[in-house]
Amino acid sequence: MKRLTALLLACLVAAAAFAGCSKSAKKNDTSAASSAASATADEASKPASTSDEAMADGIDYMVLVNKTNALPQDWEEKLTTVHMTNSVGVDVEVEQKAYAAYLELKADLEKENIYVDLDSARRSVAEQQRIMTEFIEKYGAEYAAKTVAQPGFSEHHTGLALDLYLIVDGQDVTENEDMVQYTDIWAKIHEKLADYGFILRYLEGSEHITGYGYEPWHIRYIDDPATAKQITDEGVTFEEYLGKASSNEVQIDLGTSEKFSQDELEAAAVTIKCQFAAWEGCELKSLRYAGDEAVTEEKLTQLKAKSPSLDASKVVCFLMDFSTSETNAETALEPNRDYTDYQWWLSKSKDGWQIADQGYGA
């Protein structure tokens, strides 16, 4: 119950930043994503041995998984985990090296009479999918997309993200709203993280970069204490350290519509953003609703020819500006080019928005 509450809270915070993603984003070429991440780290003359050593163990401890970077496809088969039972009797699964490091951290904290335990760590993609399905059945696709982290895009999938809780005067403090009160205790915990290869993942005031509000309990194992110390000392997010933070805020303009509510348009924008997230090496600049009048009879005829079951009364068009890089993996796109007014056509059914067409002159 607590886990679901925490998940919901984290997601609600992020809903405004278009947190939810569509299933289609799953085709993300994640091997490219993780190699790009380590290349960026190397370029910035970070200790190159980190990722090499990590790779030898089977997984890349510097992997970036967030709302736009999916879990690498072969991650779950490479992952080695251990199970533990926490003080409230819940089974928690953690990546093995991360767990060993956590035990050292915990022992060190206990010397200062600080007591922590693991609330949750690894959550499989299948489990996240189950939660998503449950929400879709209960509340509908639109609400689910906005409130539940998209399967494949949660750092908890890695087994390297740990949610701590506190034990204060022998009492378990597990609710987020209670835990945040203990700022002194968290400060002492955070001070020690880097020594054991952990970083604090969702920093205060970095919501626009991480997609999550401040979470003093969510720590991330990256293996190398020197790198962890550098990230901590620089006071940057993991995204910024890896050079994977979007440099400027993406402009989303939902415009106005007589036919669709702002919630519906937002859900459509989320669908597009998540499809776009799979376009490795491309950077989104802006996305705007093209207006009700953009949907012409001619266009509808064209779309109907493609998908006869499409509901002509529920079609929208969005325009996107984005750029491609040298290494973009989408073969249909030219490298190093700025695209403007790229069209996304979506239609709505009972399962939510689907992409009906995209491109120029589409």
List of residues contacting Zn ion (CB under 5 A): 163, 218
Nearest distance in Å: CB 249, Zn ion: 24
Nearest distance in Å: CB 306, Zn ion: 41
Q: How far apart are CA 250 and CA 59, in angstroms?
A: 31
Tell me whether residue 51 or residue 154 sits nearer to Zn ion (CB atom): 154
Structure-derived torsion over alpha carbons of residues 266, 272, 277, 280, reported in degrees to the nearest 10: -150
Structure-derived torsion over alpha carbons of residues 208, 319, 262, 17, reported in degrees to the nearest 10: -10
Nearest distance in Å: CB 202, Zn ion: 8
On the CB side of 79, CA atoms within 13 Å amount to 25
Nearest distance in Å: CB 132, Zn ion: 17
In terms of DSSP H, where are the helices of the chain? 2-15, 30-43, 49-56, 75-78, 96-110, 125-139, 141-147, 176-179, 183-193, 207-210, 225-234, 238-241, 262-277, 297-306
Q: Residue 95's beta-bridge partner residues?
A: 81
Tell me whether residue 11 or residue 316 sits nearer to Zn ion (CB atom): 11
Nearest distance in Å: CB 163, Zn ion: 4
Tell me whether residue 163 or residue 239 sits nearer to Zn ion (CB atom): 163
Tell me whether residue 121 or residue 278 sits nearer to Zn ion (CB atom): 121
Q: How far apart are CA 210 and CA 155, in angstroms?
A: 11
Tell me whether residue 163 or residue 266 sits nearer to Zn ion (CB atom): 163
